[in-house]
Amino acid sequence: MKVAIITGGSNGIGKSTVVELAKRGVGIILTYNNYQDRAESLVEAIQSDYGIRAVALKLDLTNRASFASFENDVRKLLREVWETDEFNYLVNNGGVGGPMMLDDLTEDYFDKILNTNFKGSVFLSQRLLRFMKEGGAMVNTSSSSKSQSFPGYSIYGSLKAALSVWTRYIAKELAPRGIRVNAVSPGPTHTNFGDGAFDQHPELIKMLADQSVFGRLGKPDDIGKVIANLLSDDFGWVTAQDIEVSGGHLL
């Protein structure tokens, strides 16, 4: 059985990715930071609905000192649950968002976005890729904001752009092992991202929906299906790509 590790897998796009992979018979290690109850409920649902083994682990991407123990936990789970020393897929999905204008910019905000959305993913991947099976695949969740200019998102968009560029470089480094690396860049997607901004400001929904050629916001399932497909052998000749999944936002 193939096994996937999905960061930020308890909620939103990560949750949809977890479900899509489970439907395809992939074993799941998902991480959560603030939503333990949702993570445990998802694990139970996957095991009940699809008969797939799944485990949830706590992970704070800003705390790199914890990565060594997380790696040990993953290695132990692979041996005990799946009787293997390797895994097949990595989805770097965990992240934080929310706007802050330049005049208000603080180092704490900058560091939180940097450490969660970019630095954490880089150094976690460094550890985990050491025991990814040859011929595996990785997908990084970037954002269409990297190529847009909405006020307040200069740091978020810039660091998502860094993740997209890193994707291309790492795809070349890992190619000798047959590992493919791609990114997806969601457009506006109705999740509770940014502390539930859409639920707090429903007027944003119509404004952003009107900017899509399909007249709606994206749904987590729209993105999760693309990620699951990119990981699959059906996309075995695709690497170093960043695919926008935005429903034609601002087309």
pLDDT in tens, 230-248: 999 999 999 999 999 999 8
- Average per-residue pLDDT in the chain? 94
- Asked if the model's pLDDT at residue 96 lies above 60, the reply is yes
Q: Which residues pair with 90 in a beta bridge?
A: 5, 138
Q: Is the pLDDT of residue 197 over 70?
A: no
Higher pLDDT, 190 or 187: 187
Strands 3-6 and 87-92: parallel
Contact yes or no for 31/43 (Cβ under 8 A) = no
pLDDT in tens, 48-89: 999 999 999 999 999 999 999 999 999 999 999 999 999 999
Over residues 6-32, mean pLDDT: 97
Q: How confident is the model at residue 165 (pLDDT cuts 50, 70, 90)?
A: very high
pLDDT for 195 beyond 60: no
Given 3.30.930.10, 3.30.565.10, 3.40.50.720, 3.40.30.10, which CATH number is that of 3-191+220-244?
3.40.50.720
Whether residue 14 has pLDDT greater than 80: yes
Residue 35 is a catalytic residue: no
Catalytic residue among 35, 153, 156, 169: 156
Mean pLDDT on 176-182: 98
Q: Is 68 exposed, middle or buried (0-12, 13-18, 19+ CB in 10 A)?
A: exposed
124-143 tens-digit pLDDT: 999 999 999 999 999 999 99
Per-residue confidence at 196, pLDDT binned at 50, 70, 90?
A: low
Query: Which pLDDT value is given to residue 198?
Result: 66
Tell me how far apart the alpha carbons of residues 189 and 87 are, in angstroms, rounded to a whole number: 29
- Residue among 203, 101, 201 nearest 151 (CA): 101
Q: How confident is the model at residue 25 (pLDDT cuts 50, 70, 90)?
A: very high
Closest by Cα among 124, 141, 143 to 132: 124
Say yes or no to pLDDT of 169 above 90. yes
Please report, for the chain, the start and end positions of each structural domain, with discontinuous segments joined by +: 3-191+220-244
Cα torsion 219, 249, 159, 114 to 10°: value is: -30
Please determine, for residue 229, whether its predicted confidence score (pLDDT) is greater than 90: yes
Q: Give 31-50 pLDDT, tens digit per residue.
A: 999 999 999 999 999 999 99
